[in-house]
Structure 1
Amino acid sequence: MSYADLDACSGRLRQAYERMASGEIPPDGPRQLIIASWRRSIDAGVDPQGGPAPLVYNASDIAGVRDSHPLRPVLPLLAQTLTATGGLSEHVMVVTDSEGRILWRDGDHRVMRHADRVGLADGHQWAESRMGTNGIGTTLATRRPVHVYSEEHVMRLLHVWSCSAAPIVDPDTGALLGCVDVSGTAPSLHPATVALVSAAAKLAESRLALRMHERDARLRRRFDALRGRPGILLSATGRVIAGDPAGVLGDRVHLPASGERMPLRDGRVAVLEPFADGYLVHGAPPAAPTLTLKFLGDGRPTTTIGERRLPVSLRHAEILALLALHPRGLTAEQLSFHLYGDEGNPATIRAEIHRLRGRLRGNITAKPYRLTSPIDCDFLQARQFLAADDPAALARTYTGPLLPRSESPEIRRERDELEVQVRTRLLLSGSPGDLWSYAQTANGREDFEILERLAESLPPTDHRAAAAHARLTAD
């Protein structure tokens, strides 16, 4: 809705408002955001003829609430940002909690005297359910920046006011902490003020995020100073910070309401111990999920972590294969050489590892890069069956070459070596069934010696012998 022509706008809004006040929500009235807010206000029983906002905190109560509220540290930033840009000139700024209760107020003294008359002051509540459509209540209800102009307010006594508000969200938990609002008399507050208020709210969230990261860093330093296996480090809100490289607890755990014992997802119970400004989880954490790599054959390489399937690119599959082949780990320089040869760039590998670690949720450690979770790889299984001289298991496992599209020098060497060893072992001691399994692989389909052995060792009536003979005689 355009506010360029305020007189025309006010006229249209007054008409829509009168219909709303009489119990009819006009379909062609103001913005849909305001229409939706009007409906919520009416459903909540808000009286358009109602009086000022109710007082819920007296002067003695509000002091304690302010001291403990998480927005207190960013109050100077909000005031400075809005004051420096002229946001408080002839206006009033308020900061509320998540229920719309005003905790702080600042601004022009003359405007604040007018604001006192409607309860736009410390300790008063402006939730939509109390005061109908208004900047504070509506931004908290929608969790988005809002500008409410004059007659868009449900209550008539607010029609000389306009307000712009934006929510402030906790970067740690995602919970709504409250909002910042700038209000003024209708002609003095331009709708563009909402952009300024929204920017101030984002700055506040950034400052809160910085403080969170600083707290995490302090906790990690104290955690790193502990000897032995101290457990898993949690923030005060249950966010996993350190000590869980495999990510078995996830990003966050639900802290028990009381007591120190904490049930885990697999039914076991761990002990939750207060530690500095956070917690330590001791006891029996869930076993790390197995990292399963299926990289043999001409299909797409597949990776599974526990029960979660994770599509990977060829480059990431190559990195995982190399780390599986080198359980002691590889440096960025070594990985680069194995992947690209002499033309490799370690910086490229570091960037790829960073992305891959994010997807695997901590299953790769650094310095050197190494897989930390249990591994189940088809190409390593094939090696084991070769060493155990078990051609039947080898034939079941080996479904084709290792990452056949890979051009990595190390992968090609491993692929060629494994192919030769599998073929040789099956020719020496494999049954017709084992040879037939190999004949279904990319290289076995046209392997003359394998097909000839099948045609000779199976009865002519066996479909496998017929298929082998057909391939041998095909042009």
Structure 2
Amino acid sequence: MSYAHLDAYSRRLRAAHETATADAPIPAGPRRLIRDSWRRSLDAGIDPDAPGAPSGADPVQVRDAFETHPLRPLLPIITRTLRAVADEGEHIMILTDREGRILWRDGHAATLRHADEVGLAGGHLWAEEAAGTNGIGTSLALRRPVHVYSEEHLMRVLHVWSCSAAPITDPESGRLLGCVDISGTAPSLHPATVALVTATAKLAETQLALRMHERDERLRRRYEALRARPAILLSATGRVIAGDPGGSLGTRIQLPAFGEHMILPDGRVAMLEPFSDGYLLRATGTPAPAALALTFLGDGPPTAIVGGRKVLLSLRHAEILAILALHPRGLTAEQLSFYLYGDDGNPVTIRAEMHRLRTQLDVPIGAKPYHLACPVEADFLDLRRLLTGGDPATLARAYPGPLLARSESPEIRRERDELEVLVRTSLLQRGAPEDLWTYAQTINGREDFQLLERLTSSLPQADPRAAAARARLRAP
């Protein structure tokens, strides 16, 4: 983009920024990527006049976190790739974790001093929900390389900065590890810099993949040195490395959160045992116990399905099952009592409730600690998984309402409130009007002022849903 085009774009951005930060609908001046990011940032409560990014850790914590971070061994490669461009352009290089926290930085001395003034320094948080639209946070939010130019930042103090950032993904787990970024004062940072940080991120991922394959090969050699092939060889995260020639397990399996047993796709129980840096999975031939399916979200009564039989549950039994599902590694009677009743709980009461629950459901509940000793499916657990990467439409359909809305259990209330906040925030940030309308039919969504205002501004005025939203806003 030429300087003339940049000047024209800057003028449009300034006008759009003034409109957007005055609680008016965001105009069409910025790129779609930036408009969407501004909306997410404003919905997260970011103050456009904030002095910079907040600090999330002290220097000692940052240093310790970086020393054990998976990207730490790759720092020499990252530095060699970016150093020349950073030095020539008087820019700085930045490496963050998956939360957008700066773990390391280096570069031009004067630029580093300016960076200190806005929090482009170790320990400061640059996720969108902490610092608004910026290269690091928006790249992590979208899981793609991003260039953010000057006035495209939501916070005005960043309008003298431009940044190019790219996320780095762990080939072992598929999870985000962090972000690599080059930042400088505008207009010195050319948008083409995003190609360099993208190449750097891909180089880092390639190195991680090579190291992963080296670990796999060491594991495979130890596995093959055993006299008898001991079933299936897994990595530490559940990737299938050897022992499944037919591919019946796929490339990865979900490791059990509690104990050493798991259920294979063919219904057999398998035993998981540590092996070097991974696991061995041995099929036992034992049939799997009946799965337990829980439906606890929304207005309906809590129900369980076990062995094809549907059971209506009392609120207390539903609370116990929900808490055990949320804590698959198990709880002592004292812990379960505290989660149910708070400080007024009594472990003796818990033991009596557990006896009645086992009798009613005929489902295996292990003791010492208490845990569900069978496969568990639950609508609220499915919702948790969708929150880590599901599309907004699926998320909206999966949330008919709060978790056990009548429960006063401290642990259920904590989980219920957290799910509500996460679903609402995700839909406000990423949802289409249809998704917001679906959420507006839930107990809390029916009177959500911000949600209803969004619907009135995003839906056509003649749309019946927009009329319904306006009527709810006018209701006393």
Fold conserved between structures, TM > 0.5: yes
Give 1:300-339 correspondences, 5 Å limit. Answer: none
Report the residue type matching 2:140 in the other structure. Answer: L
For the 8 Å contact 2:86–2:108, the answer to whether it is kept is no
CA distance in 1, matches of 2:98, 2:74: 15
Give 1:95-174 correspondences, 5 Å limit. Answer: 95-174=95-174
**Partner residue of 1:230?**
230
Cα 1:58–1:250 shift into 2, 3 Å: same
Q: Does 1:19 align with 2:56?
A: no
CA distance in 1, matches of 2:256, 2:204: 30
CA distance in 2, matches of 1:130, 1:246: 47
Secondary structure of the corresponding residue to residue 187 of structure 1:
coil
Tell me the CA shift for residue 42 of structure 1. 0.9
For the 8 Å contact 2:89–2:189, the answer to whether it is kept is no
Report the residue type matching 2:234 in the other structure. Answer: L
Tell me the CA shift for residue 152 of structure 1. 0.6
Tell me the CA shift for residue 283 of structure 1. 2.8
Tell me the CA shift for residue 50 of structure 1. 1.2
Give 1:26-425 correspondences, 5 Å limit. Answer: 26-86=26-86, 89-284=89-284
For the 8 Å contact 2:95–2:102, the answer to whether it is kept is yes
Cα 1:25–1:166 shift into 2, 3 Å: farther
Secondary structure of the corresponding residue to residue 51 of structure 2:
coil
Report the residue type matching 2:153 in the other structure. Answer: H
Secondary structure of the corresponding residue to residue 24 of structure 2:
coil
**Partner residue of 2:395?**
none
Tell me the CA shift for residue 88 of structure 1. 6.6
- Any unmatched runs of 5+ in structure 2? 288-476
Secondary structure of the corresponding residue to residue 270 of structure 1:
strand
Tell me the CA shift for residue 29 of structure 1. 0.8
For the 8 Å contact 1:264–1:285, the answer to whether it is kept is no
Query: After superposition, what is the alpha-carbon deviation per residue over 1:433-455, rounded to whole angstroms, capped at 9, x for unaligned?
Result: xxxxxxxxxxxxxxxxxxxxxxx
Report the residue type matching 1:213 in the other structure. Answer: H
For the 8 Å contact 1:49–1:155, the answer to whether it is kept is yes
Cα 1:86–1:68 shift into 2, 3 Å: closer
CA distance in 1, matches of 2:72, 2:19: 41
**Partner residue of 2:388?**
none
CA distance in 2, matches of 1:152, 1:91: 19
Report the residue type matching 1:37 in the other structure. Answer: S
Secondary structure of the corresponding residue to residue 104 of structure 2:
strand
For the 8 Å contact 1:169–1:175, the answer to whether it is kept is yes
Report the more deviating stretch, 9-18 or 201-210. Answer: 9-18
Secondary structure of the corresponding residue to residue 154 of structure 1:
coil
Tell me the CA shift for residue 85 of structure 1. 4.2
CA distance in 2, matches of 1:195, 1:16: 27
Report the more deviating stretch, 156-165 or 49-58. Answer: 49-58
For the 8 Å contact 1:88–1:107, the answer to whether it is kept is no
Report the residue type matching 2:12 in the other structure. Answer: R
Tell me the CA shift for residue 25 of structure 1. 3.5
Cα 1:88–1:274 shift into 2, 3 Å: farther
CA distance in 1, matches of 2:285, 2:186: 59
Secondary structure of the corresponding residue to residue 187 of structure 2:
helix
CA distance in 2, matches of 1:95, 1:130: 17
CA distance in 2, matches of 1:20, 1:276: 55
For the 8 Å contact 1:249–1:286, the answer to whether it is kept is no
Tell me the CA shift for residue 45 of structure 1. 0.9
* Count of residue correspondences: 287
Tell me the CA shift for residue 273 of structure 1. 1.0
Secondary structure of the corresponding residue to residue 269 of structure 1:
strand
Tell me the CA shift for residue 105 of structure 1. 0.7
CA distance in 2, matches of 1:231, 1:136: 44
Query: After superposition, what is the alpha-carbon deviation per residue over 1:66-90, rounded to whole angstroms, capped at 9, x for unaligned?
Result: 1221111222111110114456741
CA distance in 2, matches of 1:190, 1:20: 26
Report the residue type matching 2:216 in the other structure. Answer: D
- Any unmatched runs of 5+ in structure 1? 288-475
Cα 1:67–1:188 shift into 2, 3 Å: same
Tell me the CA shift for residue 258 of structure 1. 3.2
Secondary structure of the corresponding residue to residue 106 of structure 1:
strand
Report the residue type matching 2:162 in the other structure. Answer: S
Tell me the CA shift for residue 93 of structure 1. 1.0
RMSD: 1.9
Report the more deviating stretch, 258-267 or 177-186. Answer: 258-267
Cα 1:269–1:87 shift into 2, 3 Å: farther
**Partner residue of 1:431?**
none
For the 8 Å contact 2:272–2:279, the answer to whether it is kept is yes
CA distance in 2, matches of 1:245, 1:286: 22
For the 8 Å contact 1:167–1:201, the answer to whether it is kept is yes
Give 1:444-455 correspondences, 5 Å limit. Answer: none
Query: After superposition, what is the alpha-carbon deviation per residue over 1:138-174, rounded to whole angstroms, capped at 9, x for unaligned?
Result: 0011111111111111101111111100111111222
Report the residue type matching 2:173 in the other structure. Answer: T
CA distance in 1, matches of 2:258, 2:181: 37
For the 8 Å contact 1:87–1:182, the answer to whether it is kept is no
CA distance in 2, matches of 1:112, 1:187: 17
Report the residue type matching 2:222 in the other structure. Answer: R
Secondary structure of the corresponding residue to residue 115 of structure 1:
helix
The structure with more radius of gyration: 1
Cα 1:285–1:182 shift into 2, 3 Å: farther
Cα 1:54–1:22 shift into 2, 3 Å: same
Tell me the CA shift for residue 285 of structure 1. 7.2
For the 8 Å contact 1:135–1:147, the answer to whether it is kept is yes
Secondary structure of the corresponding residue to residue 66 of structure 1:
helix
